[in-house]
Chains A and B, each alone.
Chain A
Amino acid sequence: AQSVTQLDSHVSVSEGTPVLLRCNYSSSYSPSLFWYVQHPNKGLQLLLKYTSAATLVKGINGFEAEFKKSETSFHLTKPSAHMSDAAEYFCVVSAGQNDMRFGAGTRLTVKP
């Protein structure tokens, strides 16, 4: 069985400060891990994915995530938040393309 736990339902940061969205996973297999972002009234958009290559994964819009097997974590970070980053973020674990398990989501608020 596989699952993800997003440790924070809501994160609030000031514009220009770092962002950290935390995700722990559980998987019986070597997982693929993803982060998706969902802006209001928009479809989910893939930010980045880990598929057993480099453990530090760079994505779009300056986001990156590090796969840490020993900690079963895949936290999402960004050095400097922008107002346009305000959205809902989902961590996803997959053992196959048609078996995507989404976390409950973390709502990111960016204050001016």
Chain B
Amino acid sequence: DTGVSQNPRHKITKRGQNVTFRCDPISEHNRLYWYRQTLGQGPEFLTYFQNEAQLEKSRLLSDRFSAERPKGSFSTLEIQRTEQGDSAMYLCASSSAGAISYNEQFFGPGTRLTVL
């Protein structure tokens, strides 16, 4: 399968615990995005990387959130001291940066986080 993969698909944790999600983009894509989707809403942009550089972060990304893409391939999103309000679907997408703008973003299936 050459699509975007995310692990785990589901995560249940207790409030105050730390969680980490992983995203593996399509191999030739150099851009990687994280979104958060809450029930009944569309995805909201969190952050994006071009290769290993994190180029933009939304104000939605509080200090408890950190994302990395150390080798420009897979990425991790960590949430520290989780709160019930962090419960959501976390989506990863990747795209290729080239001469053509607005290249399609390919989305993974998401990681559903439930904070008890």
B33's nearest neighbour on chain A, judged by CB, is A98
Pick from B41, B102, B108: contact of A97, CB under 8 Å: B102
A91's nearest neighbour on chain B, judged by CB, is B42
> Which A1-41 residues have a C-beta within 8 angstroms of B?
9, 32, 36, 41
A94 to chain B, nearest CB (A): 6
Pick from B4, B45, B108: contact of A100, CB under 8 Å: B45
Chain A: residues with Cβ within 8 Å of the partner, total of 24
- Tell me the total A-B contact number using a CB cutoff of 8 A: 59
> How far does the alpha carbon of A103 sit from the alpha carbon of B37 in the complex, in Å?
11
Whether A43 contacts B33 by the Cβ 8 Å rule is: no
Main SS class of interface, B: loop
Instruction: Check if A51 is an interface residue, CB within 8 A of chain B.
Output: yes
A57 to chain B, nearest CB (A): 13
Tell me which residues across on chain A come within 8 A of B33, comparing CB atoms.
98
Instruction: Check if B79 is an interface residue, CB within 8 A of chain A.
Output: no
Q: A103-B42, A104-B42 are in contact. Are A98 and B101 (CB under 8 A)?
A: no
Q: A97-B95, A98-B56, A104-B40 are in contact. Are A43 and B45 (CB under 8 A)?
A: no
Q: Which 10 A-B pairs have the closest CB atoms?
A: A102-B42, A44-B107, A43-B107, A98-B48, A32-B102, A43-B109, A102-B43, A90-B42, A46-B104, A43-B108
The interface of chain A, by Cβ under 8 A from chain B, is 9, 32, 36, 41-46, 49, 51, 90, 92, 94, 96-105
